[in-house]
């Protein structure tokens, strides 16, 4: 094959883009790109009932967000109907397909009889040699080769074959004049000059049929790669139970597109033990790695690990920009930057930042009474009073000086960190959990810390 590599991803717009589809698309895209080729997007929208423009829009939006940039304009399969029918006519004229007028009742009966005898249902080729003319009740059937086998060398699974006897004379055009899936795919793949088809392994059985149609049309067969499906951590088919399903939901959860792409790339592909791949590196190295032929399993925990890695390395300006739709607190100022530094590694998702940083930007919410009763004991209130006095007298307000004060109070009152740090933390953050309390106080600033300590003391005394 001297032609330039041309890959494609061909979703049916009958739903939003899910993890499995996005992973397959990424592999198709990366494979083409790593071989210096192009990758096209084809929307297989021939099912008029189930295909919706809103799904097409959402699929395209998800790819834009992920940064998977398909070449050329998307192709809408429904617009190619005349070409599909033209090729069906060509096949009939060449004696590779024929008109069939078998009624649905006859076919139903045939199927039942075959099943009763324990055979796999298959069209009995009644009309194959009858040379029927086209009529309102005829379908076009493909003359599948009667013997031999169909085989192809799959990039993921190696050599696969099936005996032609297993395959039906499948319908290419229905009696209402609509072309069927296998014909549409082959004709579009030919017209789009597709050289590489990477798709889910649920299509392997279609591939055998499609290879025969390519051959009947005298066209070169693309190179195929069927990637196994993605399973949930429990080994069952991936579903909602295993984490959000569609790409747009991950976006809403606050997953970074870079992290999701990196994770998707590792769902069924590997290059040594490396986990973190920048996008450019993936494009360069995808061909050097290995697409696995065993199902990959999805883990939300692992995805969050990737997200945290990317969050921790993200440039502050970019992070503040990304956070803008999740949390309105951050500005491009020194205070925001200090808060970010302090809480960044406590957040797995962009949506965690608001909750984690609220007390830096807003007045404290009412302290949980259970936490208050447990923490603000009479001894703790005495400690807070001493701390308040020491803090007010501190010359400089840094995490070191604050830490030194806390330690001095601990020593002189012979108390542990819990007895001093916990009431202080609850008073200044309103929570039992926060980053180290000395650092938190330093970022909050002396005025706010003192004000909140006084408030806690006034309420309780």
Binding site for ligand GLU (CB under 6 A): 10-12, 44, 185, 199, 203
Q: Rounded to whole angstroms, what are the CA distances from 103 to 39, 174, 447?
A: 42, 12, 86
Helical axes 53-66 vs 257-266, angle rounded to 10°: 90
Q: In angstroms, give the least distance from the CB of 205 to ligand GLU.
A: 12
**Closer residue to ligand GLU in complex, CB, 10/349:** 10
Q: In the block, which residue shows the tokens 């990424």?
A: 26
**Closer residue to ligand GLU in complex, CB, 264/350:** 264
The closest alpha carbon to 456, from 357, 366, 360, belongs to: 366
DSSP string for residues in 171-200: EEE-TTSPBPHHHHHHHHHHHTT--EEEEE
**Closer residue to ligand GLU in complex, CB, 141/226:** 226
Helical axes 446-460 vs 417-429, angle rounded to 10°: 100
Spell out the residues 6+ positions from residue 15 whose beta carbon is closer than 8 angstroms to its own. 55, 246
**Closer residue to ligand GLU in complex, CB, 40/216:** 40
Q: Give the DSSP H/E element, type plus range, for residue 391.
A: helix 378-393
**Closer residue to ligand GLU in complex, CB, 13/435:** 13
Q: In angstroms, give the least distance from the CB of 18 to ligand GLU.
A: 11
Q: In angstroms, give the least distance from the CB of 373 to ligand GLU.
A: 58
- C-beta of residue 32 within 8 angstroms of C-beta of residue 38: yes
Query: What is d(CA 325, CA 364) in angstroms, rounded to the nearest whole number?
Result: 23
**Closer residue to ligand GLU in complex, CB, 44/352:** 44
Pairing mode, if any, of strands 38-43 and 6-9? parallel
Q: Count Cβ atoms within 10 A of the Cβ of residue 403 and give its class: 0-12 exposed, 13-18 middle, 19 or more buried.
A: middle
Q: In angstroms, give the least distance from the CB of 294 to ligand GLU.
A: 21
The closest alpha carbon to 190, from 287, 265, 278, 91, belongs to: 91
**Closer residue to ligand GLU in complex, CB, 12/258:** 12
**Closer residue to ligand GLU in complex, CB, 157/431:** 157
- C-beta of residue 142 within 8 angstroms of C-beta of residue 169: yes
User: Residue 73, SS3?
Assistant: coil
Q: In angstroms, give the least distance from the CB of 4 to ligand GLU.
A: 20
Q: In angstroms, give the least distance from the CB of 203 to ligand GLU.
A: 6
Q: In angstroms, give the least distance from the CB of 447 to ligand GLU.
A: 60
Q: In angstroms, give the least distance from the CB of 105 to ligand GLU.
A: 31
Query: What is d(CA 158, CA 293) in angstroms, rounded to the nearest whole number?
Result: 9
Beta-strand ranges (E) seen in 106-195 are 139-142, 149-154, 158-163, 171-173
**Closer residue to ligand GLU in complex, CB, 11/430:** 11
**Closer residue to ligand GLU in complex, CB, 156/453:** 156
* Residue 292 DSSP one-character state: -
Q: In angstroms, give the least distance from the CB of 167 to ligand GLU.
A: 17
User: Residue 445, SS3?
Assistant: coil
Q: In angstroms, give the least distance from the CB of 189 to ligand GLU.
A: 8
Spell out the residues 6+ positions from residue 181 whose beta carbon is closer than 8 angstroms to its own. 44, 46, 206
User: Residue 415, SS3?
Assistant: coil
* Radius of gyration in angstroms for the set of CA atoms belonging to the chain, rounded to a whole number: 32
Q: In angstroms, give the least distance from the CB of 165 to ligand GLU.
A: 24
Beta-bridged to residue 42, according to DSSP, are: 75
**Closer residue to ligand GLU in complex, CB, 198/296:** 198
């Amino acid at each position: 094959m001297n032609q330039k590599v041309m890959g494609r991803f061909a979703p049916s717009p009958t739903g939003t883009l899910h993890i499995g589809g996005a992973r397959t698309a990424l592999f198709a895209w990366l494979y083409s790109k790593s071989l210096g080729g192009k990758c096209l997007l084809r929307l297989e929208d021939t099912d008029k009932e189930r295909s919706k423009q809103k799904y097409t829009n959402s699929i395209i939006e998800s790819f834009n967000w992920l940064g998977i940039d398909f070449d050329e304009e998307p192709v809408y399969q429904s617009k190619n109907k005349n070409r599909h029918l033209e090729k069906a006519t060509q096949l009939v004229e060449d004696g590779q397909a024929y008109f069939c007028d078998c009624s649905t009742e006859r076919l139903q009966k045939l199927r039942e009889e075959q099943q009763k005898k324990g055979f796999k249902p298959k069209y009995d080729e009644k009309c194959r040699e009858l040379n029927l003319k086209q009529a309102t009740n005829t379908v076009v059937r493909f003359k599948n080769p009667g013997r031999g086998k169909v085989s192809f060398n799959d990039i993921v699974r190696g050599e696969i074959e099936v005996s032609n006897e297993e395959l039906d004379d499948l319908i290419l055009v229905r009696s209402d004049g609509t072309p069927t899936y296998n014909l549409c795919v082959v004709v579009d793949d030919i017209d789009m000059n597709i050289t590489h088809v990477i798709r889910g392994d649920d299509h392997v059985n279609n591939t055998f049929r499609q290879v025969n149609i390519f051959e009947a049309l005298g066209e070169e067969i693309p190179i195929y790669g069927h990637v196994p499906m993605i399973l949930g951590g429990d080994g069952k088919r991936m579903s909602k139970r295993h984490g959000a399903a569609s790409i747009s939901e991950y976006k809403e959860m606050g997953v970074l597109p870079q992290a999701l792409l990196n994770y998707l790339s590792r769902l069924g592909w590997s290059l040594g033990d490396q986990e973190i791949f920048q996008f450019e590196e993936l494009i360069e190295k995808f061909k050097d790695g290995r697409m696995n032929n065993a199902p990959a399993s999805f883990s939300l925990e692992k995805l969050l690990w990737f997200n945290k890695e990317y969050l921790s390395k993200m440039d502050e300006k970019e992070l503040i920009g990304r956070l803008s739709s999740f949390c309105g607190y951050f500005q491009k100022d020194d205070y925001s930057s200090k808060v970010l530094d302090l809480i960044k590694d406590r957040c797995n998702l962009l949506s965690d930042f608001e909750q984690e940083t609220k007390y830096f930007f807003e007045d404290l919410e009412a302290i949980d009474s259970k936490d208050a009763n447990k923490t603000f004991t009479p001894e703790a209130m005495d400690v807070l009073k001493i701390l308040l006095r020491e803090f007010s007298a501190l010359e400089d307000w840094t995490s070191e000086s604050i830490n030194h004060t806390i330690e001095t109070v601990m020593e002189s009152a012979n108390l542990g960190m819990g007895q001093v740090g916990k009431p202080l933390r609850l008073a200044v953050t309103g929570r039992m959990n926060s980053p180290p309390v000395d650092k938190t106080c330093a970022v909050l600033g002396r005025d706010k810390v003192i004000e909140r300590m006084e408030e806690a003391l006034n309420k309780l005394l």
